[in-house]
Chain A
Amino acid sequence: MTPLIELAGIHKSYNLGLANEAEVLHGVSLTIDRGEFVALIGPSGSGKSTLLNIVGLLERLTAGSYRIQGEESSGLDDAGLTLRRRAVLGFVFQFHHLLPAFSALENVTLPALMREGRVTAAQDERARAMLAAVGLENDMHKRPGELSGGMQQRVAIARALVLEPPLVLADEPTGNLDRASSDEVFVLMRRMHAQLHTSFLIVTHDPRLAARCDRVIELVDGRIESDQLATVVTE
């Protein structure tokens, strides 16, 4: 079976051709299959976020190959990347990154709105169901500013999952939350994973959370240091 995503020999340099050129990723190869729940850990500056951005098609790689569902993505232009991103990916960011001018429900219907120019009754229904699934059925008309950090992150998860993408990328999804909220959000992601069979790739530096993932990839200095089942990692 074709893997969901397949990175081979990924290099990423910034300031290419300038005096301060710096290579951040030195030949990363990585495969994630449908339905996996993967943690990406590593010290600050190890290139985790860069790798996540490359997987998320937000940054271009300098060298190497990146196949999504068997299709090469490294040569795509901006429009091609955007369309691929729409089709395959959902995002959850550290600082929630909801649009402050839109209510929780509107934030969740945004992906559908930007695809078709309108939100059908079915899509609206689906968005409400997602918000209910993340426990926000009573707060869906509130603006992000009126919600707690944990609640905002739950809205972000609902938004990432509403169109059921095969892969959700999360960049420190609990990094900005207290322990209780952080647990809540993590449990929610695991539940969604179980329900929808969505693959998750979660960047975290919280070993406690990493230990609760199925697979942990450790990145050190732009190289993969280890890639193993989570049970092996100890707290």
Chain B
Amino acid sequence: MLNWLGFERRVAVRFLREGRMQTLLIIVGVAAGVAVVAYISALITGLQRNTLEKTLGAQAHITVSARDDVVIPALAAAADTTALVHTQPRVQRPRSIANWQSLVPVLEALPAVAAVSPMVSGAGLAQRGEASRSVALMGVDLDRYDRIVHLRSKVVQGEARLGPGEGIIGRELADDLGVRVGDRISLVTGSSTDSLRVTALVDLGVRELNRRTVIVPLRAAQSLVGLPGGATGLDLALVDVWAAQGLAADLAQRFPYKVESWQEANSQLVSALNAQSVSTALIRGVVMVVVVLGIASVLVVSVVQKQREIGILRAIGATQGQMLRVFLIQGAIVGALGSTLGVLLAVALIKAFTTFVRGSDGLPLFAITLAPSLALTIAGVATVCGVLAAVAPARRAAALDPAQAIRL
């Protein structure tokens, strides 16, 4: 279909070329708008991804654990009575997820789930000599856990290994206890005592976590916490982190467990991210409106300037539909050229950002890139905006009375 809209395209291009300065200015205007939208989108996407990576780097997307112990009244209140109950909440003892060994393959089979890792967690004291620190004890299978939080990439010293009697601890905890890789520390819990050899120090990105983390083999944790063969939680990593909430709700319905998504565990962060997304959307919207108004105003002027030409074209046989499309295509061309230029400009801005904005360590603060799909979407939206902007002027052009237009 090489000749599809051949007439309209030819005339539209010529009209635009004829109004050289006008066309150039509006294309630059559209480009500036598109660049702002693309740059802000990329910046916010990068910022959010960075924040998420930092947050989710040290935690699972979904955690499955046993339901909390609750007090169930022995006697249900009669229908027409009001019971004023004073209940002492139950103690939440460490409990294993019932049947977790068979649950793991079921969860792993879900297409949205990337990895499942059982964990035994509990509280304890890490001791060495006279130093004693309260710690969060985590018993994991290293290979599985690595797929959840990429533990191996966080090792700052030593080599991640969790053989029997071995453990990995946070960097700050090592400082507090004065241990190096290869040293031994003792672990004390309410029910048991064990000792382990430190194989690696890790930096989880948050100082408080580094000060409290002790990672041991699953079996060691089971005996320390007093849950032989058990697991207090299952950590899930998902293919798409934003699917966590939906999947968590789904799992909570299907299984008798407590299922928590990372969004629930970090609700403040999520609302901050949402606020950010909303303001980005607002900025994008306003810029797009400005772009539309800019294109529309230029085309309105162009219709007035080109009245005579429109009249001639109508007299020699152009239909109203053809005149309409001539101006719609002009809008599309301005939108498309402007957005192409705008995307290039945005790439340059991003390059400038990553070159000049650096953290205290001299490394880029965070990676921002303009995803091709995002660039394409923005360019597509801008082109559609161009067409929309052209609707009113195009209708005016189509409605021109040819006899009157020629006389001018």
Q: Are B6 and A117 in contact (CB-based, < 8 A)? A: yes
The distance from the CB of B382 to the nearest CB of chain A, in whole angstroms, is: 25
> Considering the complex of A and B, which 8 residue pairs feature the smallest CB-CB distances, nearest first?
A118-B3, A117-B6, A86-B317, A117-B3, A101-B14, A58-B403, A101-B18, A114-B7
| A23 contacts the other chain (CB 8 A) | no
Q: Are A113 and B6 in contact (CB-based, < 8 A)? A: yes
| Bound-complex Cα distance A100 to B18 (A) | 8
Shortest Cβ distance from A78 into B: residue? B320
| B57 contacts the other chain (CB 8 A) | no
| B319 contacts the other chain (CB 8 A) | yes
The distance from the CB of A118 to the nearest CB of chain B, in whole angstroms, is: 4
Within 8 Å by CB of A58, from B4, B6, B315, B320, lies: B315
| B94 contacts the other chain (CB 8 A) | no
The distance from the CB of B39 to the nearest CB of chain A, in whole angstroms, is: 35
| B79 contacts the other chain (CB 8 A) | no
| B287 contacts the other chain (CB 8 A) | no
The distance from the CB of A119 to the nearest CB of chain B, in whole angstroms, is: 8
Chain B interfacial positions (CB closer than 8 Å to A): 2-7, 10, 14-15, 17-18, 308-309, 311-322, 402-403, 406
| A193 contacts the other chain (CB 8 A) | no
**Interchain residue pairs with CB less than 8 A apart (29):** A53-B403, A56-B315, A58-B402, A58-B403, A58-B406, A59-B403, A82-B314, A82-B320, A91-B316, A93-B315, A97-B308, A97-B406, A98-B312, A99-B14, A99-B313, A100-B18, A100-B309, A101-B14, A101-B15, A101-B17, A110-B313, A113-B6, A114-B318, A117-B3, A117-B4, A117-B5, A117-B6, A117-B7, A160-B316
| Bound-complex Cα distance A159 to B6 (A) | 19
| Bound-complex Cα distance A146 to B17 (A) | 17
| A102 contacts the other chain (CB 8 A) | yes
The distance from the CB of B226 to the nearest CB of chain A, in whole angstroms, is: 82
| Bound-complex Cα distance A118 to B8 (A) | 10
| Bound-complex Cα distance A218 to B14 (A) | 41
Chain A residues within 8 Å of B4, by CB: 117
| Bound-complex Cα distance A102 to B18 (A) | 10
Known contacts A91-B316, A97-B311, A102-B14, then 9 further A-B pairs from the complex at CB < 8 Å, ordered by chain A residue? A79-B320, A85-B315, A93-B315, A97-B308, A99-B309, A114-B318, A116-B6, A117-B3, A117-B7
Q: Which of B2, B6, B322, B406 counts the most A-chain CB atoms under 10 A from its CB?
A: B406
Shortest Cβ distance from A58 into B: residue? B403
State which residues 118-173 of A face B: CB under 8 Å: 118, 159-160
The distance from the CB of B18 to the nearest CB of chain A, in whole angstroms, is: 4
Shortest Cβ distance from B19 into A: residue? A101
Q: Are B10 and A113 in contact (CB-based, < 8 A)? A: yes
State which residues 64-116 of A face B: CB under 8 Å: 78-79, 82-83, 85-86, 90-91, 93, 97-102, 110-111, 113-116
Within 8 Å by CB of B6, from A59, A102, A118, lies: A118
Chain A residues within 8 Å of B406, by CB: 58, 93, 97
Within 8 Å by CB of A82, from B7, B312, B319, lies: B319
| Bound-complex Cα distance A101 to B309 (A) | 10
Chain B residues within 8 Å of A93, by CB: 312, 315, 406
Chain A residues within 8 Å of B10, by CB: 113
The distance from the CB of A24 to the nearest CB of chain B, in whole angstroms, is: 12
A-B contacts counted at CB < 8 A amount to 72
| Bound-complex Cα distance A160 to B317 (A) | 11
Q: Are A111 and B315 in contact (CB-based, < 8 A)? A: no
| Bound-complex Cα distance A85 to B312 (A) | 12
Chain B residues within 8 Å of A116, by CB: 3, 6
| Bound-complex Cα distance A111 to B317 (A) | 7
| Bound-complex Cα distance A79 to B3 (A) | 21
Chain B residues within 8 Å of A98, by CB: 312
Q: Are A118 and B316 in contact (CB-based, < 8 A)? A: no
Shortest Cβ distance from B308 into A: residue? A97
Q: Using A59-B403, A101-B15, A118-B6 as known contacts, say yes or no to A111 and B320 having CB atoms under 8 A apart.
A: no
Shortest Cβ distance from B15 into A: residue? A101
The distance from the CB of B306 to the nearest CB of chain A, in whole angstroms, is: 9
Q: Using A101-B15, A117-B7 as known contacts, say yes or no to A159 and B319 having CB atoms under 8 A apart.
A: no
| Bound-complex Cα distance A116 to B3 (A) | 8
| Bound-complex Cα distance A159 to B15 (A) | 20
Within 8 Å by CB of B2, from A56, A101, A113, A118, lies: A118
The distance from the CB of B20 to the nearest CB of chain A, in whole angstroms, is: 11
Chain A residues within 8 Å of B317, by CB: 82, 85-86, 111, 114-115
| Bound-complex Cα distance A56 to B14 (A) | 27
| Bound-complex Cα distance A97 to B322 (A) | 19
Chain B residues within 8 Å of A159, by CB: 316
Q: Are A114 and B15 in contact (CB-based, < 8 A)? A: no
Q: Using A100-B18, A116-B3 as known contacts, say yes or no to A110 and B316 having CB atoms under 8 A apart.
A: yes
